Structure 1
Amino acid sequence: MTRHLYLISGMGADERMFQHLRFPGEYQVHVLHWLPPRPDEPFTDYAARMAAGMATNGPVTLLGLSFGGMISLEIARQRPIEKNIIISSIKHTGERPPYFNWARKLGLYHLPDQLLFRRRHAIVKHFMNVETPEEDALLRDYLQKKDFTYLRWAVNTVLHWENEFIPPSLVHIHGGADLTFPLKFVKPTYTIPDGGHFMVMNRAAQINGILARELEDL
């Protein structure tokens, strides 16, 4: 029987983030691409528009990376999900690092584009735990995008995200060295001790082992 697996990448990223992942042969793999947000669009409404891109009405498996993990949980509120897998993400408000709350209270997301989004390669590279030239080249490509409307909406959404809904089928894979969402604030199902926020690229072998076990158990 063919099963459907939908991938949702991290903020501003695309399916290249999943290039090293491998899935059991019975899965038909799809990508849910980010959509341009509407002005002041609530996260729930945005998730509904993303979910409308699914080709099947039956239960599916979602795999969300970072911000994509958060939106996968919003989708899981709205339609049947067979299994919800998040990688390098958070699953409820209590796992959001304190510095996110500080940024929200200080209103840093209101800074001009030139300060908030330009010349940010060094700090983003650090928090992404980038390790190889291949990863750095991919990050640079993502950072060249000038769709600051989407980025501003996404940053604002992350800082204000409130969630206590945890799907019973949730699998949370996290890195012990993640700087964006530090492990001390997160309680994952699986921990890759030396994995950082970019571990989907550089710890794919370990992640693939977990995926094989979790997806073949369905």
Structure 2
Amino acid sequence: MKHVYLMPGMAASSLIFENIKLPESDFTIHHLEWIVPQKKESLTSYVSKLAKLVIHEKPILIGVSFGGIIVQEMAKQIAVEKLILISTVKSNREFPRRIRFSKTTGLHKIFPTSLIQSFELWSKYSFGISSHKIALYKKYLSVNSSIYLDWALDVIVNWEQEDSLPGLIHIHGDEDPIFPIKYINDCIIVPGGTHIMIVNRYRWFNEHLPELISS
């Protein structure tokens, strides 16, 4: 039996995986959820807290978007059988110019995140996500703490990983507006897949994940 841990995207709940189904004879799915960090908490410290929730040896870790960054950091702390990334980046070299510009200018600190609308505004103009996609994503939001949102945006923009970890699997949509495919290398491309394809292209994942995990 393989134990699969799923980490959702920024501020989202595990509800984004509600339609992900793996054969129960071979896999057991476990959902990880966001916790509110301490102010200015290091990424390493935060990830170590989440890693304590992984109770099985050598699990399969699957992370979406910011959750993909988290599971990569987790794989630096615990032994994993497989690391699968969805709609995310493998290093800061794959960030689009908007995010690199934000790191240089501190743009992400200009927009206060005390209201979730500010997160939406920052996402729209810095990441390029459209308003109707944000509205759909809001269904799955579980964290609206300004401490978490400020921390998460800063962690993303200042992520220091320059080289991808060996042996991981990266699945990416060719219509992802947040992490455009032109910046992404060495990935499995889902035609027509957007940043929220874990939600609206779940059939693709249900068909292909079992084989990818077991390969």
* Residues 130 and 198 in structure 1, CA contact (< 8 A), matched pair in contact too: no
Distance 1:85 1:37 in 2: 24
The structure-2 alpha-carbon separation of the partners of 1:99 and 1:138, relative to structure 1 and needing over 3 Å to count, comes to: closer
The structure-2 alpha-carbon separation of the partners of 1:130 and 1:66, relative to structure 1 and needing over 3 Å to count, comes to: farther
Give the drift of 1:129: 8.7
* Residues 129 and 197 in structure 1, CA contact (< 8 A), matched pair in contact too: no
Note if 1:61 corresponds to 2:60: yes
What SS class does the counterpart of residue 153 from structure 2 fall into? helix
RMSD between superposed Cα atoms in Å:
2.5
Letter of the aligned partner of 2:52 in structure 1?
A: A
What residue number does 1:43 align with?
43
Distance 2:104 2:122 in 1: 21
Match of 2:207 among 198, 206, 209: 209
* Residues 170 and 187 in structure 2, CA contact (< 8 A), matched pair in contact too: yes
Give the drift of 1:167: 3.5
Deviations 1:59-112 (A, max 9, x none): 010000000000100000111010001100001111011110111222122225
* Residues 108 and 153 in structure 2, CA contact (< 8 A), matched pair in contact too: yes
* Residues 128 and 197 in structure 1, CA contact (< 8 A), matched pair in contact too: no
The ranges of structure 1 where at least 4 consecutive aligned residues each deviate by more than 4 angstroms after the TM superposition are 114-117, 119-126, 128-131
The structure-2 alpha-carbon separation of the partners of 1:160 and 1:179, relative to structure 1 and needing over 3 Å to count, comes to: same
The structure-2 alpha-carbon separation of the partners of 1:118 and 1:47, relative to structure 1 and needing over 3 Å to count, comes to: same
The structure-2 alpha-carbon separation of the partners of 1:129 and 1:86, relative to structure 1 and needing over 3 Å to count, comes to: farther
Give the drift of 1:208: 2.1
Give the drift of 1:154: 0.1
**Bigger mean CA offset, 76-85 vs 110-119:** 110-119
* Structure 1 unpaired stretches of 5+: none
Distance 2:135 2:39 in 1: 32
So what's the TM-score if we normalise by structure 1? 0.86
**Bigger mean CA offset, 206-215 vs 189-198:** 206-215
What residue number does 2:17 align with?
18
So what's the TM-score if we normalise by structure 2? 0.87
What SS class does the counterpart of residue 77 from structure 1 fall into? coil
Distance 2:160 2:81 in 1: 23
The correspondence of residues 26-105 of structure 1 with structure 2, limited to 5 A, is: 26-56=26-56, 58-105=57-104
What residue number does 1:127 align with?
129
Distance 1:72 1:53 in 2: 12
* Residues 62 and 84 in structure 1, CA contact (< 8 A), matched pair in contact too: yes
**Bigger mean CA offset, 206-215 vs 121-130:** 121-130
* Structure 2 unpaired stretches of 5+: none
